[in-house]
Chain A
Amino acid sequence: MSDTGDTHLDLFLFSVCGIHFGVDAEQVSEVNAYLGEPCEDLFWFHEELGFGDEAITYLSPTIATIRAEGGQSYRVIIDVMEDIAEIGLYEILPFPPLIEPFALRKGMWGIMVRNNRLILLVDFKLLLREQSHVEDL
């Protein structure tokens, strides 16, 4: 988390299939254009987050490289990059208690509203931990 005096946070904002997401800009090391090349360590964001089996179309597929622990990299394909914005922590709201456990298992840790849009905040590291835990089981 990029701490700007403990009151602000830099978020990398993007969207997949019209759903807006935000991730701590410190977790993304770089972004590149996806040209269709096959690669085993490349994952589609909608599959990681569990959008379901529906056919998803990416308008502008982009590879976001995630900084993983132990110096490993984790690459995930996202759709349209929208902005890198500094937002106040007071703008971030927790999930309702009823769905919070489910959201945390999917790597989502909060929500915020910006420009009349609902943005889901994703922690890729938390998502990786949850997936590793599932694979271990």
Chain B
Amino acid sequence: MLRQFGIKGQLISIVTISVVVGIVLLIAICIRTATSEIDSSFKHDMDVKQTGFAGILALNGEGLMGTAAAVASDPRLKQGLGPAGGREAIRPLIIDLYAAVKAGNSTVQSLEVTNAAGIVLVRGHAPEIFGDDKSRLELFAGALRTRTPQSGMGVSLRTQSLTLDAVYPVMSGGTLLGLVKVGSYPNKDLLIQCKKAMGVDIAVIDSKNGREFGSTLDGAGAVIDRISTRMTRVTLGGFEYDAARYPLVFKGKYVAGGEVILFTRTDVLTGITRSITINMVLAGIAMLVAIIITVTIFIQRKLKPLPNLIEAIGKIAGGDLTAEAIQMSQDELGDIARMFNGMAENLCLVIVALSDMTGKIITFADELSANVDRQSGFSTQLSSSAVEISSTMEEFSSTASQIALHSQSVVEQADKTLEDSKTGAAEVENLTFKVNDISQNIQANLDEIVELGKKSKEINKVMAIINNIANQTKLIAFNAALEAASAGEAGKRFGVVAVEIRRLADSVVESTSEIEGKISEILDSVNRLVMSSEKSFQLTREGREYAARTVAMLVDSVDGVEEITCAARQISLSTQQQQIASSQVVFALKDIEQGVRHSSTSILHINSIVKELVVMSGDLKRIMGRFNLAEKGAP
């Protein structure tokens, strides 16, 4: 789905989603942790407050102890408990002291004085009741045994309330005179004071039946059953409270049968949690926005070279090898751009080299095709030539047989030729004599022709004289014509004659010119004839010499013919051997012819392969032509 946004959009989206999820999880964990911590802190706070409540109780105990000490130190009491005193002696005193103590502390509910054996002498709050033995009670027994002050908290079965008692010994010179016991009921006022001090509502209950001894909340007893020692949420009076149940402790000791419950309004906790949640969410949103902006800027800056790189890759994909990616950064994209440029340059070099190789392949393939065609033609010619040679050799073989047959007749013919040569030598000698006669005749003709040339030159002289006469005649004719013209009508007829004479003179001049031309031609012919005759004479003389040589040669040839006769016999034998060799050659030629046919078939197959190679080279060249190399310095 994110593909339509590109890598940049995908990265931003993924990072945004991751950051949102992370921040939400972080916020949730933080809120959870904060809530848990708040709960834990609240529980701890409740524990502390419970301890504080115990402390307040202890302080009350100490205060009560002080009150008891004050009563026990009264000298009138010591005197009344002495040997001279008695119950009656101290009764009014105790009643007065009770009234005074109660006035100072409203929680004080009782004041008792016993003798040294623990027998109650006087009760300030109930003077009519006395004489009962308290020595077995814990506080009284402790004080009697240790003679030290004792305090304690307990549950009054009589009043069904919580009691706080202090027993203080009355001493006189090291002698125990009796015990003073001050008792109080920790009432609602004490709890209200504690609430003010600690900020929590407090309820003190009976651990056995859950009955409420005292509480700062109305109706707390109704929900006590649902509260455990763990933090429990309860609704009371329209409000939610987190409540915890603790054992009642007084001076480090559990008070049997008593428990205390602390209440805290949940809206405080909810407010804190809500505030923390809101702050966390706001912080998370701010963090999210900051992270998204930072990541977006980072991705934008980091992916800035990407469009240029995509454009360059697109150009390369389209065949434009001049494309170059700009290296905008030194990171991985910069490395990619640099490596891409290197790859493009290498590709360009490869394409250029491939293009050159393709051109060479095409050239070589064309040349190979032409050579194969020529070779095919040669092979065909060779095949036909082999066939022809084979047939010729067969004919040659049969001819050799015939030659062998006719060699004998050649020998006979050679004998006859010997005789004929002798006859020819005699005839050639006669021919030499005839050639001598012809040579003499040519020499005579040559002399005559030279004489003819001389006479032709004399004719030229005569023609010059005639020409001169004709010119003078022409002048005379012109003068006659001029005279005739000046004579007017009378000289007109004479003028006609003059004109005719002038024309005649002109004709004579033209004729003499023509004669001169003809004579020149005759002279040229004579010269050529003289030269030809001289050449003929020379040739005749050479012919005579050749004839003499021929006679000598014919005489010599007689011996040669005899040798020829012997050679003809030898030829006859050799021809028979040649016949056998020719048969072997014929068989060899047939094998060659078969091989040439196989070679022709192979060449045709090679030719078809070469043509396919030419077509493939053309296809490869067209493919190479798709790439643009112009700005790369490619050829």
Q: With A25-B481, A84-B481, A84-B499 given, is the CB distance from A62 to B475 under 8 Å?
A: yes
Give the contacting residue for A81; candidates B478, B485, B489; CB below 8 A. Answer: B478
Q: With A33-B471, A33-B472, A84-B499 given, is the CB distance from A2 to B479 under 8 Å?
A: no
Q: With A33-B471, A81-B478, A84-B478 given, is the CB distance from A26 to B486 under 8 Å?
A: yes
The yes or no answer to A130 lying at the interface (CB within 8 A) is no
* Interchain Cβ contacts within 8 Å, total number: 35
Chain A interface bracket (under 10, 10 to 19, 20 to 34, 35 or more): 10 to 19
Q: Please give, as numbers and ranges, the residues of chain B lying within 8 Å of A32 by CB-CB distance.
A: 475
Interface string of B451-485 (1 = CB under 8 A from A): 00000000000000000000110110011011001
The yes or no answer to B488 lying at the interface (CB within 8 A) is yes
In the complex, are the beta carbons of B479 and A10 less than 8 A apart? Answer: no
In the complex, are the beta carbons of A31 and B486 less than 8 A apart? Answer: no
CB nearest neighbor in A for B477: A84
Q: Please give, as numbers and ranges, the residues of chain B lying within 8 Å of A28 by CB-CB distance.
A: 482
Least CB distance, B565 to chain A, in whole angstroms: 82
In the complex, are the beta carbons of A31 and B485 less than 8 A apart? Answer: no
In the complex, are the beta carbons of B485 and A2 less than 8 A apart? Answer: yes
Quick one: which of B471, B474, B479, B485 has the most chain A CB within 10 A? B485
Least CB distance, B486 to chain A, in whole angstroms: 5
Quick one: which of B475, B489, B495 has the most chain A CB within 10 A? B475
In the complex, are the beta carbons of A84 and B486 less than 8 A apart? Answer: no
Main secondary structure of the interface of B (DSSP, over half): helix
Q: Please give, as numbers and ranges, the residues of chain A lying within 8 Å of B485 by CB-CB distance.
A: 2, 10, 12, 25-26, 84
Q: Please give, as numbers and ranges, the residues of chain B lying within 8 Å of A29 by CB-CB distance.
A: 482, 486
CB nearest neighbor in B for A12: B482
Q: Please give, as numbers and ranges, the residues of chain A lying within 8 Å of B488 by CB-CB distance.
A: 2
The yes or no answer to A30 lying at the interface (CB within 8 A) is yes
Among A24-56, those with CB < 8 Å from B are 25-26, 28-33
Q: What's the Cα separation between A1 and B259 when bound, in Å?
A: 188
Main secondary structure of the interface of A (DSSP, over half): strand
Least CB distance, B153 to chain A, in whole angstroms: 170
Q: Please give, as numbers and ranges, the residues of chain B lying within 8 Å of A81 by CB-CB distance.
A: 474, 478
Least CB distance, A47 to chain B, in whole angstroms: 23
In the complex, are the beta carbons of B471 and A31 less than 8 A apart? Answer: no
Q: Please give, as numbers and ranges, the residues of chain B lying within 8 Å of A33 by CB-CB distance.
A: 471-472, 475
Among B496-553, those with CB < 8 Å from A are 499
Give the contacting residue for A30; candidates B474, B482, B489; CB below 8 A. Answer: B482
Q: What's the Cα separation between A4 and B485 when bound, in Å?
A: 10
Q: What's the Cα separation between A2 and B490 when bound, in Å?
A: 12
CB nearest neighbor in A for B487: A2
Q: What's the Cα separation between A35 and B276 when bound, in Å?
A: 156
Least CB distance, B267 to chain A, in whole angstroms: 140
Q: With A30-B479, A31-B479, A84-B478 given, is the CB distance from A2 to B486 under 8 Å?
A: yes
Q: What's the Cα separation between A36 and B482 when bound, in Å?
A: 23
Least CB distance, B468 to chain A, in whole angstroms: 10
Q: Please give, as numbers and ranges, the residues of chain B lying within 8 Å of A30 by CB-CB distance.
A: 479, 482
Q: Please give, as numbers and ranges, the residues of chain A lying within 8 Å of B471 by CB-CB distance.
A: 33
Q: What's the Cα separation between A21 and B357 when bound, in Å?
A: 85
Q: Please give, as numbers and ranges, the residues of chain B lying within 8 Å of A10 by CB-CB distance.
A: 485
Least CB distance, A94 to chain B, in whole angstroms: 24
Among B91-129, those with CB < 8 Å from A are none
In the complex, are the beta carbons of A25 and B475 less than 8 A apart? Answer: no
Least CB distance, B523 to chain A, in whole angstroms: 25
CB nearest neighbor in A for B486: A26
Least CB distance, B384 to chain A, in whole angstroms: 72
In the complex, are the beta carbons of A31 and B482 less than 8 A apart? Answer: yes
Q: What's the Cα separation between A123 and B142 when bound, in Å?
A: 200
CB nearest neighbor in B for A28: B482
Least CB distance, A103 to chain B, in whole angstroms: 24
Give the contacting residue for B478; candidates A2, A26, A31; CB below 8 A. Answer: A31
Q: Please give me the 10 A-B residue pairs with the lowest Cβ-Cβ distance, nearest first.
A: A25-B485, A10-B485, A84-B481, A30-B479, A31-B478, A28-B482, A26-B486, A2-B485, A25-B482, A81-B478
What is the interface of chain B, defined by CB distance below 8 A to chain A? 471-472, 474-475, 478-479, 481-482, 485-486, 488-489, 495, 499
Can you show 6 pairs from A to B with CB atoms below 8 A apart? A4-B489, A25-B486, A26-B486, A81-B474, A84-B495, A84-B499
